[in-house]
Amino acid sequence: MKPFPVYPLMNINVQRGLGSYVWDADNRKYLDFYGGHAVISIGHGHPHFIKKVSNQLEHLAFYSNAVVNDLQIELAKKIGAISGYSDYQLFMVNSGAEAIENALKLASFKNQRTKMIAFERGFHGRTSAAVHVTDNPKISANINRGFDRVILPWDDLVTVKKHLSKGDVCAVLIEGMQGVGGVHIPDPAFLKELEILCRQTGTILILDEIQSGYGRSGKFFAHQYSGIKPDLITIAKGMGNGFPTGGVLISPDFKATFGLLGTTFGGTHLACAAGLAVVEVIEKEGLLENAIQRGDQLKTALSQFSEVLEIRGMGCMIGVEMPFPVKEFRKIFVEKFSVFTGSSSQPNTLRILPPLTVSELEVEEFIEKFGVCLLEYC
């Protein structure tokens, strides 16, 4: 048997990682400013992460959600405290898409409605309902189109208002900062107004913080720059620093009943150990502050290149708009200059997602190599 070849692979066999770097099978060192789709939050091979996960593995990797799990309780408490959502509840899952599925389901349980609103360029995952609220018909099969949904223009309050005014929308789903769509920050005034409209019409507001959350923007959640409080918040990616885990933060207005949601693998002992290690490192090492400083450093340095048309984003989530499609540039950047970066659904946008632990020197190294690569490319 062979793997089902759905991924256009780079011919790089990554074997180990430390901090902002990874090494391939020939021991070649790469600067990782992508973190495998924004997953690496506290850096590769962080000693606290290794210790906590290994220690847990020696005791117990897994037992089901049928028994008390102290680690889940501890993790929920820590995420609540660090995010400012202490009064919310945590339901743990295994991936981003699964978090979205459960958030949509909770919204529909709550108000019994079925119609969803999402936004242009938005990405929310590839599973059944998640892909239907994602703005990419190419990855949606007929079986996925089982409920009414509209994809609306970004930041367009008038259109959103028109759709919400009938009072038949179940939920509005929006990323705290769009990732796959090319790094776009929602206008804080739009989010604020959206929150009010949702409250007035009994619509559930879901913030997808799967990519932009967990400190990546410099606040724990990107939407916290707007001062709003959504009903549901989805998390994954940086939550486990590579260990597959995710979750939904659920407002106290939602009451659980036994069996309402469920999963075999969500919130296992090992996943909780990984999640706890990440939160502890973010807190201990002041990584929100570091994300802001390194993000500002990156933006200032990038703005000095005349080829750069626009720089979007905050903290360790930056989109760089180039005057050319970035596919070939990224290829040269990694193959010749050993630097990993990301693409997006917008062909001319380069996505930069270093770990929140990235240092000033590593940003300087990135900028120097970016400049040389630009000279070579142009």
Ligand X SMILES: Cc1ncc(COP(=O)(O)O)c(C=O)c1O
User: Looking at beta carbons only, is 301 or 326 nearer to ligand X?
Assistant: 326
Using CB under 6 A as the binding criterion, the count of chain residues that bind ligand X stands at 15
Interaction of residue 180 with ligand X, rule CB under 6 A: yes
Interaction of residue 135 with ligand X, rule CB under 6 A: no
Q: Which range binds ligand X by CB under 6 A, 121-129, 156-164, 189-197, 287-295?
A: 121-129
Cα distance between residue 147 and residue 114, in whole Å: 6
Interaction of residue 97 with ligand X, rule CB under 6 A: yes
Q: Minimum Å distance from CB 104 to ligand X?
A: 12
Q: Minimum Å distance from CB 343 to ligand X?
A: 12
Q: Are strands 204-208 and 232-235 parallel, antiparallel or unpaired?
A: parallel
Q: Site residues for ligand X, window 258-287 (CB under 6 A)? A: none
Interaction of residue 223 with ligand X, rule CB under 6 A: no
Q: Residue 268: what residue type?
A: T
Report whether 181 contacts 134 (CB < 8 A): no
Interaction of residue 353 with ligand X, rule CB under 6 A: no
Residue from the set 95, 144, 245, 348 that interacts with ligand X by CB under 6 A: 95
Q: Site residues for ligand X, window 16-55 (CB under 6 A)? A: 37
**Per the structure block, which two tokens stand in for 334?**
């990694």
Interaction of residue 330 with ligand X, rule CB under 6 A: no
User: Looking at beta carbons only, is 17 or 181 nearer to ligand X?
Assistant: 181
Q: Minimum Å distance from CB 252 to ligand X?
A: 24
Q: Which range binds ligand X by CB under 6 A, 66-74, 106-114, 203-211, 304-312?
A: 203-211
The closest alpha carbon to 247, from 268, 226, 228, belongs to 268
Interaction of residue 236 with ligand X, rule CB under 6 A: yes
For residue 368, the number of C-alpha atoms closer than 13 Å in the C-beta half-sphere is: 8
Report whether 163 contacts 150 (CB < 8 A): yes
Q: Minimum Å distance from CB 162 to ligand X?
A: 25
Q: Minimum Å distance from CB 37 to ligand X?
A: 5
Q: Which range binds ligand X by CB under 6 A, 6-14, 172-180, 188-196, 355-363?
A: 172-180
Q: What angle separates helix 327-335 from helix 360-377, to the nearest 10 degrees?
A: 120
Cβ-count burial of 4 within 10 angstroms (0-12 exposed, 13-18 middle, 19+ buried)? Answer: exposed
Q: What is the residue whose two structure tokens read 């929006």?
A: 174
Interaction of residue 182 with ligand X, rule CB under 6 A: no
The closest alpha carbon to 279, from 240, 316, 243, belongs to 240
Q: Residue 234: what residue type?
A: T
Q: What are phi and psi of 72, to 5 degrees?
A: -65, -40
Annotate 239-252 with DSSP letters as a single string. Answer: GTTTS--EEEEE-T
Residues interacting with ligand X, by CB under 6 A? 37, 95-97, 100, 123-125, 175, 179-180, 208, 210-211, 236
